[in-house]
Amino acid sequence: MRTMKAAVYVRPGVISLEEKPVPTAGPGCAVVKITTTTICGTDIHILKGEFPVAAGRTIGHEPVGIIAELGAGVEGYSVGQRVVVGAITPCGQCYTCLDGHQAQCGGKPAGGWRFGNTIDGSQAEYLRVPNAMSNLEPIPDGLSDEQVLMCPDIMSTGFGGAESGDIRIGDTVVIFAQGPIGLCATAGAKLRGASLIIAVDGLQARLDVARVMGADVTIDYTKTDPLTEIMRLTHGRGVDVAIEALGTQVTFEQCLRALKPGGTLSSLGVYSGKLFMPLDAFAAGLGDHRIVTTLCPGGKERMRRLMNVVASGKVNLEPMVTHRFRLDEIELAYDLFANQRDGVLKVAITP
């Protein structure tokens, strides 16, 4: 039996590189040889034990690689093709997928998120891809691994925040938090035609990247009160859409306070602890507000569209790859990323 290296969740605080059998492709599945992957904020939640997964689970949900094996019934692909697979792998055939909620595949909350959660993930030399017909997407010629590395998760999620917010041409949009997801939401807001994009964070380095991604105005909340500044910028009107990209009471609440009556809070964060609705900002329920949440859209059609955006040159997310590691250095990568040292945004991991 062939073995491979894989980053495995052991117990809270410990993700370690282990030897595991190389997976085989069953019917409807494929095996992808990973050429590049990355670490996500969610992986840190797993590492810390805040988001429980089974001990022994290979972590990671952002695969870029080469088709190594195709299971029975998987047609239209060939071994050796370079592919991207979304973090979310919908089956396409259950009631929920057929009804358009592919990220909730199977009708379970976040049911479409399998990699590094309910099945083994991409921080390994090989990855077994379920429902391969719905999920394998060839990489257009001329695009490098790092150019498409953000497609599986943060680009899809961040853009999804702009899309679910239904941003219109001429809208004013604020994005609270400019980590990788927030930066992609900023880029998404620009793509949707917002005329004034306000990015809020507490780290100047991130605000600098936010400008590159499309922010017209940046607010360092350690120096300026965001709400005062937002109301000044909007002449007291409030923003049309506020995107929450952190998952905390403060940012959720500030989003709601920044909104105009009739505005939309598009929430991307993963919340823990307690979350209160500030009833004054919520107009006691009378403000015609919308609060929408979006789990990363997946599936090959989504990957196709996102890679088209990359190929068009309209968005360039390569500057977000700030560090590079080999798979056998992944514990170092986790250490750097979990502690947000050295200005890290995203790391590229290459087996």
182 token code pair: 């927030």
Is 13 a binding residue for a copy of itself by CB under 8 A? The answer is: no
According to CB under 8 A, which one of 48, 232, 237, 341 is a site residue for a copy of itself? 237
Q: Which of residues 25-54 bind a copy of itself (CB under 8 A)?
A: 27-28
Applying the rule CB under 8 A, the residues between 256 and 275 that interact with a copy of itself are 260-262, 267-275
Secondary structure of residue 234 in the 3-state scheme: coil
Q: How far apart are CA 289 and CA 282, in angstroms?
A: 7
Between the alpha carbon of residue 291 and those of residues 196, 245, 256, the distances in Å are 21, 13, 9
Cβ 290 to a copy of itself shortest distance, Å:
5
Q: Which of residues 156-215 bind a copy of itself (CB under 8 A)?
A: 159, 162-163, 168-172, 188, 191-193, 195-196
Footprint of a copy of itself on residues 138-157 (CB under 8 A)?
none
Q: Which amino acid is at 184?
A: C
Question: Rounded to an integer, what distance in angstroms lies between the CA atom of residue 330 and that of residue 328?
Answer: 6
* DSSP reduced 3-state for 217: strand
Q: Which of 44, 66, 110, 338 binds a copy of itself (CB under 8 A)?
A: 110
Residue 314 near a copy of itself by CB under 8 A? yes
The bridge status of strand 3-11 relative to strand 14-21 is: antiparallel
Among 12, 49, 107, 319, binds a copy of itself (CB under 8 A): 107
- Of 311, 350, 316, 304, which Cα lies nearest the Cα of 143? 311
Binding characters for a copy of itself, 279-308, by CB under 8 A (x = yes)? x--xxxxxxxxxxxxxx---xxxx-xxx-x
The Cα 73–Cα 28 span in angstroms is: 5
Nearer to a copy of itself, 136 or 344 (CB): 136
Q: Which of 311, 318, 329, 340 binds a copy of itself (CB under 8 A)?
A: 311
Q: Which residues contact 142 (CB under 8 A, 6 or more apart)?
A: 311
Q: Which is nearer to a copy of itself, 21 or 262 (CB)?
A: 262
61 near a copy of itself, rule: CB under 8 A: no
Rounded to 5 degrees, what are φ and ψ at 262? 85, 0
Least CB distance to a copy of itself at residue 31 (A): 18
DSSP symbol at 22: P
Identify residues 62-101 at the interface with a copy of itself (CB under 8 A).
Answer: 72-73, 90-101
